[in-house]
Structure 1
Amino acid sequence: MKGAQVILSTLLALIILSQNTSALKQNYYAKTCPNLEKLVRGAVQKKMAQTPIAAPATLRLFFHDCFVRGCDASLMIINANGDDEWIHPDDFSLKPSGFDTVMQAKAAVDSDPRCTNKVSCADILALAARDAVFLSGGPSWPVELGRYDGKISRKKLVFLPHPDFSFNILTTMFSRYNLSMTDFVALSGGHTIGAASCKFFSNRLYPTTDLGMDSKFENMLKGSCPINFNSSSFAFLDNTTPQKFDNEYFKNLQQGKGVLASDKVLFTKPITRRIINRFATNERAFFNAFTRAMTKLGRIQVKTAMHGEIRRDCRFHN
């Protein structure tokens, strides 16, 4: 109980900067880099052909970045003193493929003389996340652009949703960024692609199984994650179609096949269970809600030229 109070106190102490969305426009680079979207999508497609991890890794990178000081690619910064966001334990689930996808997209963009050093890493990440979803079979949507890259990346500033957080804590975290309950459920649907390390859900399997889990699904998870699992052990978050962006994740929740505790808890609450049931029976409804939620996520604490820069290398300050 004390831990939950500390977390809630931290949430209440957070100062959410005003959302400077007026700078964002869908055609922001129409004159300076007219081939931007084609260049980014080509790079994402190439990386996805090399490894299936690229799509979920890029999508997760975008979420983790936006939830800490806004969508400013600060998560990619490497500081000389080693005090970086990405080394925080909350970011241990991030994979190198996500970072590499953005770096390759940045290189592709800068290879066009019209675009060189004119497009922010934050905007490239936003486009790459959209393309990762679309190229996995999910929806596409017009991405608002015009973000500048942040200049601050500190390990102590990281505070992200945990798989074992209570429902109230999770919804509080999302609501503080103007994300509704529907947004929360839709963004959780991003778990339709990707996997989770066993350490993030082994407490649901051992010493006793979490109530409500499907017995066959439990045995499958224990096969992937035995009691003495190693650091490389994992399970797909959607075991049905793990590389396809669809609504199977929600169908799995209906059947007691949620991997993370934060997945399971969504179906235990009437307000989110109704949303899950709608998404499970209507993939179009899920896709529409997901695109709206991603657009809102991409507006969090947007940096302008006054507080940001356009990094020549996404990993380092100019």
Structure 2
Amino acid sequence: MHLPVTNLVFCLLVFQPFVYGQLDYKFYDYTCPNLTKIVRFGLWSAMANDTRIAASLLRMHFHDCISNGCDASILLDETSSFRSEKDAIPNRNSVRGFELIESIKTNVEKVCPNTVSCIDILTLAVREAVFLSGGRYWPLALGRRDGLTANITASNTEIPSPFESLDGIIAKFTAKGLDLKDVVALSGAHTIGFSQCFTFKFRLFNFSGSGAPDPTLDASLATSLQTACPNQDESDTKLVPLDRVTTTRFDNVFFKNLVNNSGVLASDQVLMTDNRTSAMVLNYSKFPFLFAKDFGDSMVKLSNVGAITGQNGQVRNKCNLVN
């Protein structure tokens, strides 16, 4: 027996998945209806005073989710029970923005006490930061709960390094349920990113003992980076934008740079030279809307890695402390 078209459409609407697990697009519609506005205002104010904050929040969110699941464990201070992930090698002196998330959380608590988790605030803040930087706005299912502990060992071992091989990076992504497209798309976050000189200085002066820069690095960029990062230890922590063309705008210029051998990090430039990823880099360099869509889709996947829902975890009163 065939269902009438109207009944078939009704069934599709009713049974179409509306949530990711127990995450829901309307999770706070009644309990905290102005949540997105509060988060967006907090980001707008911060970005007016700090052009790097959007990139910093992207880094914080990625490091939280890829190492221990999206549970806001990266926000926790050290206690007698665990060491803080803030002290992990990939996070120490490189992840920032903790005060901003705490400030937004305080403002949310004034309006919606004991309702919104820190991890949902961080996840929303990253989306708003990208959007306010010129990137795509993507829908987010909410309802994550905060973790009860931190795992510095996971942070030290599971976060990809700028010195890592592409095989190693892919392995760390796939271990979290992400795939090759996610590797390339999420690398596009570097369009507004910065990196310290020590992460790429080995490419500038005596690459593989040659006495010359990395031959895969554009010569004019190599000269510019040598000036910005002289071959002295004092320059190791100096910050350099990963996209020197449109540093604060979230766009696809990062991929155009890779096509032109102007990727600052070796772990980024390899995306253009490896047969598994080069076609995606080329497509993203040519089609900005494709990159915007895939980046949003990959961010949704990332934000669901290891998410805690239901009665597990908690909604922290302060993001740096377990209740």
Q: TM-score, normalised by structure 1?
A: 0.90
Larger radius of gyration: 2
2:319 maps to a residue whose letter is C
1:86 aligns with 2:86: yes
Contact 1:151 1:307 in 2 (8 A): no
CA distance in 1, matches of 2:310, 2:33: 21
Deviation string 1:196-230 (CA, Å, 9 cap, x unpaired) is 00111111113232221100000111111000143
1:33 maps to a residue whose letter is C
Contact 1:55 1:132 in 2 (8 A): yes
Partner of 2:32: 33
- Superposed, which structure 2 residues align to 1:170-249 within 5 Å? 170-208=169-207, 209-228=213-232, 229-249=234-254
Contact 1:165 1:262 in 2 (8 A): yes
Partner of 1:142: 139
Superposition deviation, residue 181 in structure 1: 1.3
Superposition deviation, residue 102 in structure 1: 1.1
How big is the alpha-carbon RMSD for the aligned residues of Structure 1 and Structure 2? 1.4
Contact 1:212 1:256 in 2 (8 A): yes
1:84 maps to a residue whose letter is S
Superposition deviation, residue 92 in structure 1: 2.8
- Superposed, which structure 2 residues align to 1:30-69 within 5 Å? 30-69=29-68
Superposition deviation, residue 53 in structure 1: 1.3
SS of the aligned residue for 1:124 comes to helix
User: Could you tell me which of 100, 122, 126 is aligned with 1:129?
Assistant: 126
1:85 maps to a residue whose letter is E
> What is the identity percentage for the equivalent residue pairs of Structure 1 and Structure 2?
36
User: Could you tell me which of 258, 263, 270 is aligned with 2:263?
Assistant: 258
Contact 1:93 1:197 in 2 (8 A): no
User: Could you tell me which of 98, 117, 121 is aligned with 1:120?
Assistant: 117
Superposition deviation, residue 231 in structure 1: 4.6
Superposition deviation, residue 93 in structure 1: 5.5
- Superposed, which structure 2 residues align to 1:4-43 within 5 Å? 21-43=20-42
Q: TM-score, normalised by structure 2?
A: 0.88
Partner of 1:268: 273
CA distance in 2, matches of 1:296, 1:95: 22
Contact 1:21 1:302 in 2 (8 A): no
SS of the aligned residue for 1:252 comes to helix
Aligned pairs, how many? 296
Query: Stretches of 4+ moved more than 4 A in 1?
Result: none
CA distance in 2, matches of 1:227, 1:29: 52
1:268 maps to a residue whose letter is T
